[in-house]
Chains A and B, each alone.
Chain A
Amino acid sequence: MHELGVAESIIDIVRAHVPLAQAPAVREVRIRVGDGAGVLIESLEFCFGVAVAGTPYASAVLAVDRVVGDDLHVVHVELAD
């Protein structure tokens, strides 16, 4: 229901850690999602794709580590060299 907002929050965090010039090099944004986090992962993956389309981060793909608990964290980003 609010996965688009969650996707936009993820991108805001990535933006704060990756200089804009390096944005096109981002290949993967890895997140950790607990089963109690209240997030539908398939919906989040879809919304992430929608949110990055047409932006400097358009090459980024969401990678999800599924865990037990309430975690909802951005783990790291991978950039192509």
Chain B
Amino acid sequence: MTVITIERKVLEKNDTIAAQNRRRFAEARLFVINLVSSPGAGKTSLLEQTIERLRGRLRVSVIEGDVQTDLDAQRVARYGAPVVQIVTNGGCHLEAKLVQDALDQLDLGQTDLLVIENVGNLVCPANYDLGEAMKVVLLSTTEGDDKPLKYPAMFRNAPVLVVNKIDLLPYLPCRIDALVANAREINPGMRVFQVSCTTGAGLDEWCAWLAAQAAAARA
């Protein structure tokens, strides 16, 4: 029996393209986030509110990832941000190659912040580097305060958590302290924003943080 030692990462092809994306972002001095969540947590709503609040301060471009339709790209386009829709036709996550191809349709020289809105899925996107500066995980109060414990890979891989729909807390069994504690049990250094895309609560702090990150990338 002959053994040929290999010891290569299975996803090395994706990682190689992700590194190319990362270099391209660095050359354009962009801040890039990979926005992940389960379906319906409010990624597109957060994007709408973010684009609106940062108007005149930060130029935002968007890459949308969905299994079907360009409904999210249409929503974002109404707020005036350049947007490219990736339709995966069943793929449960975005990969670096899809993002690389989408970049050709954007003017990165006219962008300060690029948001990649991933396919709604708390599992698979955790394992696919797209070249982003960081993943931002969005969790809504209606999903329950135990979700960080049930989806540890995603929460471990994201330095930032945005909790959405905090206006619904009075009507839900979700305990916000337990949710944040669970998130920090998985990822002790996690930065947490608590927002409501409906009432506007917490969004100024979130946008101020984004603007600071973009400024740091530009420096």
Also in contact, A17 and B6, with CB within 8 A (given A37-B127, A38-B127, A80-B1) = yes
Kindly state the separation between the CA atoms of A57 and B11 in the bound complex, as whole angstroms. Answer: 20
Also in contact, A10 and B10, with CB within 8 A (given A36-B153, A38-B123) = yes
Which of B6, B91, B152, B156 touches A75 (beta carbons < 8 Å)?
B6
Least distance between A23 CB and chain B CB atoms (Å): 12
Provide the main secondary structure of the chain B interface.
Answer: mixed
Least distance between A37 CB and chain B CB atoms (Å): 6
Kindly state the separation between the CA atoms of A74 and B3 in the bound complex, as whole angstroms. Answer: 13
B93 within 8 A of A: yes
Contact in complex: A70, B153 (CB < 8 Å)? yes
Contact in complex: B126, A38 (CB < 8 Å)? yes
- CB-CB under 8 A from B7, the residues of chain A are 73-76
Question: Which chain A residue shows the least CB distance to B14?
Answer: A9
Contact in complex: A81, B127 (CB < 8 Å)? no
Number of A residues, CB within 8 Å of B? 27
Contact in complex: B127, A78 (CB < 8 Å)? no
Q: Within residues 60 to 79 of chain A, which ones have a CB less than 8 A from any CB in chain B?
A: 70, 72-79
Kindly state the separation between the CA atoms of A8 and B5 in the bound complex, as whole angstroms. Answer: 19
Report B's interface with A, CB cutoff 8 A. Answer: 1-13, 91-93, 123-124, 126-127, 152-153, 156
Report A's interface with B, CB cutoff 8 A. Answer: 1-2, 6, 9-10, 12-14, 17-18, 25, 27, 31, 36-38, 70, 72-81
